[in-house]
Chains A and B, each alone.
Chain A
């Protein structure tokens, strides 16, 4: 079975542009979470979606938005890109919405570079 898949794997944008990152969870998983990992640091929570509803949001500006589709795939959108948005964006999926009920499986990430 395929794991969590993310696209694109790498992309380069310039300041002020917009980016859309995509994630397909493991088959049967209903929850998708997004994390930002700046080089040299641990991942930071951005969003969680469960059953197509936003269930949690981290300390990120409104330039960051996301949604989950009926097939449980998800998109992360970032508007008005800043240099500081350069990072590895990780998507993670789980069967259910609450951490205590299972593992969180991460994808390989989308490496965004903002010039």
Chain B
């Protein structure tokens, strides 16, 4: 399928390593943040979310960290697998009606 992110920054990791994808968000009033994974030819898929009253949230193999002081969000993927290869987007919301502001995206390439 057509590539989602031809000119996106790329993070290359070895299978089994941990991956950290970073995102700077723009609006200090944003109170809800989401990470999405988008594979080529598909729509974004929800990974994990975090509200502004938290600074860390863990899911299965994924952890999101939020630093409101510097408006920074990160996604940590443990034991990265080839199936994790995709473009990852962070998105922010300021409590409005489903209006998400997406970041530029990072391509994760997992090598065996």
Interface status of B84 (Cβ within 8 A of chain A): no
Q: Mark B32-57, 1 if CB is under 8 A from A, else 0.
A: 10101000011111100101000000
Q: Are B99's CB and A42's CB within 8 A? A: no
Interface status of A72 (Cβ within 8 A of chain B): no
Q: Which residues from A are CB-within-8-Å of B93? A: 99-100
Interface status of B13 (Cβ within 8 A of chain A): no
- List CB contacts (< 8 Å) of A60-115 with chain B: 90, 92, 94, 97-100, 103-109, 111
Q: Are A100's CB and B51's CB within 8 A? A: yes
Q: Which residues from B are CB-within-8-Å of A7? A: none
Q: Are B43's CB and A106's CB within 8 A? A: yes
Q: Are B96's CB and A42's CB within 8 A? A: no
Q: Mark B6-34, 1 if CB is under 8 A from A, else 0.
A: 11100000000000000000000001101
For A40, give its contact among B7, B45, B51, B99 (CB under 8 Å): B7
Binding site for A on B (CB under 8 A): 2-8, 31-32, 34, 36, 41-46, 49, 51, 89, 91, 93, 95-105
